[in-house]
């Protein structure tokens, strides 16, 4: 299938698995939180990779399940505080070519970020990576307790986006983008897979080159 990209005015990026890998840092945050409650925990980054993109409540259920020995809301409250304390210095690792791609894309499209992360997650990202100047807006699930599709629609309305495209790395990202009426780019370099993306690229460099040099792109 061939899609006309000449009308696309904006690109909305997911964070984890799309622009960086911060799972090792997130594992340290989860371990530190568990230890505060005398819960044994030795999570590694690989333990969290499959859950990136889920809500924090869903991740908690997958990682801890019936092993919770404290109230869930109490745990999540401390987890949020630990993330605010630790992530600004722990950060993550940008995928190769991300900064160059953002700089080039920024010249042709309005760029945004939207993620199912904590309220400070995207702020921590842009501060740590020095990429704040590329983005016109940031929105997290932690700020608005609604689905990603609802947040995508909200962002499009708030910033008067006529033809935005969502860029993510999971099937859920694709489903939510399509539910919001948006086309979807799958980041094959990320954590997940997707069966029905409108486009897919092996690297973010390939993605940037194709979107900057073509009026139409074949899936």
Tens digits of residue pLDDT in 34-57: 999 988 889 999 998 888 877 788
Q: What is the pTM of this model?
A: 0.90
Is residue 2 helix, strand or coil? strand
204's CB contacts (< 8 A; 6+ apart) are 19, 95, 96, 97, 98, 101, 187, 189
pLDDT 10s digits, 139-158: 998 888 899 999 999 999 99
Tens digits of residue pLDDT in 15-37: 999 999 999 999 999 999 999 99
- The whole-chain average pLDDT of the chain stands at 91
Q: What angle do CA 50, 130, 189 make, to 5 degrees?
A: 30
Q: What are phi and psi of 20, to 5 degrees?
A: -150, 170
How much is the pLDDT for 192? 86
Residue that wins the pLDDT comparison between 192 and 185: 185
pLDDT above 70 coverage of the chain, percent: 95
Over residues 78-100, the mean pLDDT reads 94
**Quick check: 112 and 125 in contact, CB under 8 A?**
no
Is the model's pLDDT at 117 over the cut of 90?
no
C-alpha span between 112 and 11 (Å, rounded): 6
Dist. CA 207–CA 205, nearest whole Å: 5
């Amino acid at each position: 299938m061939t899609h006309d990209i000449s009308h696309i005015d904006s690109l909305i990026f997911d964070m984890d698995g799309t622009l960086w890998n911060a799972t090792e840092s997130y594992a340290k945050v989860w371990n530190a939180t568990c230890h505060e409650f005398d819960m044994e925990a030795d999570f590694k980054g690989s333990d969290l990779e499959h859950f990136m993109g889920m809500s924090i409540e869903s991740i908690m259920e997958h990682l801890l399940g019936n092993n919770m020995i404290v109230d869930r809301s109490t745990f999540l409250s401390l987890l949020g505080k630990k993330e605010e304390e630790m992530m600004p210095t722990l950060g993550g690792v940008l995928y190769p070519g991300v900064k160059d791609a953002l700089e080039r894309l920024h010249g042709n499209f309005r760029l945004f970020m939207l993620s199912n992360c904590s309220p400070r997650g995207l702020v921590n990202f842009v501060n740590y990576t020095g990429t704040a100047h590329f983005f016109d807006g940031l929105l997290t699930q932690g700020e608005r307790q609604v689905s990603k599709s609802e947040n995508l629609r909200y962002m499009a309305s708030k910033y008067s986006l006529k033809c935005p495209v969502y860029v993510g790395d999971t099937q859920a990202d694709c489903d939510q983008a399509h539910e919001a009426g948006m086309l979807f780019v799958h980041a094959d370099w990320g954590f997940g897979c997707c069966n029905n993306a409108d486009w897919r690229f092996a690297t973010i460099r390939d993605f940037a080159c194709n979107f900057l040099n073509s009026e139409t792109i074949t899936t």
